[in-house]
Chain A
Amino acid sequence: MRRRGPALLLAVLLAGCAAPAPRPAGPAVELGDTPFFAQTAYRCGPAAAATVLSAASLPATPDELAPATYLPARRGTLQAELLASIRRRGGLPFVIAPDPAALQAELLAGRPVLVLQNLGLEQLPVWHYAVVIGVTPESNRVLLRSGTEPRHRMNWQRFMQTWDLAERWGLIVLRPGELPADPDPIRFLRASAALESVGLLDAAQASYAAALERWPAHPLALLGLANVAYARGDYRDAASRYRQLLAREPSNAIARNNLAETLVALGCPDAALNEIERALDLPAPAGALRAALEETRRQIVAAPREDGRHRAGCRR
């Protein structure tokens, strides 16, 4: 009777395991040129980041990345800080769709994929970063640069189990201006907007420009380029880009709000007021967007009025 204890526990734990994932599809691929950095204690994060950065021709070593990523008291690295450290090294970290097909598509495009794995259990997580460098469907294996192993061969189903427990989180490193295999513009623009948010304007601009080539006239890519111009203080360029977007989408309240901000910066509060009133008249704006529009209006009203010298320059 006493002996049944461990067996019972094992049965309970095994029952928690989902049905095995199907075998991988598609052709075999192995990115054998991917560099390898053996991790030192708890530093799989910087090692994995150095691997994908170097593979994207942005040289980095784990020792260089550790001060920007390692959390001593947690003995590990947060996902957000991995993303941030890749941006700081000049890369564009792109979080792939949580899908093995997306992972394989990037491998086939020649890009290794940094993945988060939970090597333990849902309730007893053992978080680990590794880099997928290949998949061999005929032998049902995933190939990884992992820990101290340069070519860790892992059973596909077991890999999927560890990846599922980490919500299938994975990223690739793109050089600014480079596009992923993923056909979803929003996913790419989100990655590009993060560059803008932290003030990496050259990289953001290159990414938005690449997005516009692939998805012509995409309103969020046009907005991104205009916002970068504004952030640079290049207000004339910004105004003309917002107007270009508004010619296509007159009801774009965000573009009109930012155009109004730009006109204030150009010393044209009357024109700005006109734009913000039009934005506030739109039916859609609610919540924080309306609050932003109203704040813009307050700022415009508080701004010094146009004098004769300015007024001429304010006419389009």
Chain B
Amino acid sequence: MRNRLFRELVCMVAAIGVVAATAVQPAAAAFVGTEQALAAAENATMARDDLSGWIARDDVRAQLVGLGVDPAEAAARVAALTDAELAEIGHHLDSLPAGGNVLALLGAVFVVLLVLDLVGVIDIFSRT
């Protein structure tokens, strides 16, 4: 009898714990936007399926500020990104191309590129 009572008590505490844990999580948005519907149509699963892919707008804003963007402007920039774009930047910022014609290269590497450019394999040092 006491054993059963104990079991019920444990169950109740566990149940409360589960409810409390779910309550603090951000509620899954129930409305499905067209962007998610397209992702669902293409992949048979929705983009939001991957919870690890979820990223906060604030995190990306902080990343942009860390790279020298004005804080007020960073907020506006982040607001203009879709969820998919936000996730792409949030997770892969370091490996994403940043078009700027940058030659952050030194010494031997520079020489190799210069040679390749002169023999016409690549086209960095534009000539008219």
A residues apposed to B, CB below 8 Å: 6, 9-10, 13-14, 17, 39, 42-45, 48, 67-68, 71-81, 83-85, 87-88, 116, 118-121, 124-129, 146-147, 149, 152, 154, 158, 161-162, 166, 186, 189-190, 192-194, 196-198, 220, 223-224, 227, 230, 254, 257-258, 261, 286-289, 291-293, 295-296, 299
Q: Give which listed residue, B69, B83, B121, contacts A13 with CB less than 8 A.
A: B121
What residues of chain B lie closer than 8 Å to A154, measured between beta carbons?
123
- Whether B99 lies near A129 (C-beta < 8 A) is yes
- Whether B98 lies near A287 (C-beta < 8 A) is no
CB of B40 closer than 8 Å to a CB of A: yes
Bound-state CA distance A39–B99 (Å) is 12
What residues of chain B lie closer than 8 Å to A85, measured between beta carbons?
80
Using C-beta atoms within 8 Å of the partner chain, give the interface range for chain B: 35 or more
- Whether B35 lies near A287 (C-beta < 8 A) is no
Bound-state CA distance A166–B89 (Å) is 17
User: Which residues B25-64 have CB closer than 8 A to chain A?
Assistant: 27-35, 37-38, 40-42, 45-49, 64
Nearest Cβ on chain B to A244's Cβ, whole angstroms: 16
Bound-state CA distance A39–B66 (Å) is 24
Q: Give which listed residue, A118, A146, A186, A288, contacts B97 with CB less than 8 A.
A: A118
A10-B116 contact in complex given A68-B77, A193-B34, C-beta closer than 8 Å = yes
- Whether A220 lies near B34 (C-beta < 8 A) is yes
CB of B104 closer than 8 Å to a CB of A: yes
CB of B96 closer than 8 Å to a CB of A: yes
20 pairs from A and B in contact (CB 8 Å cutoff): A42-B100, A42-B102, A45-B99, A68-B80, A72-B69, A80-B85, A84-B80, A84-B81, A85-B80, A119-B101, A120-B122, A120-B124, A126-B124, A194-B82, A196-B35, A197-B83, A289-B40, A289-B45, A292-B48, A295-B28
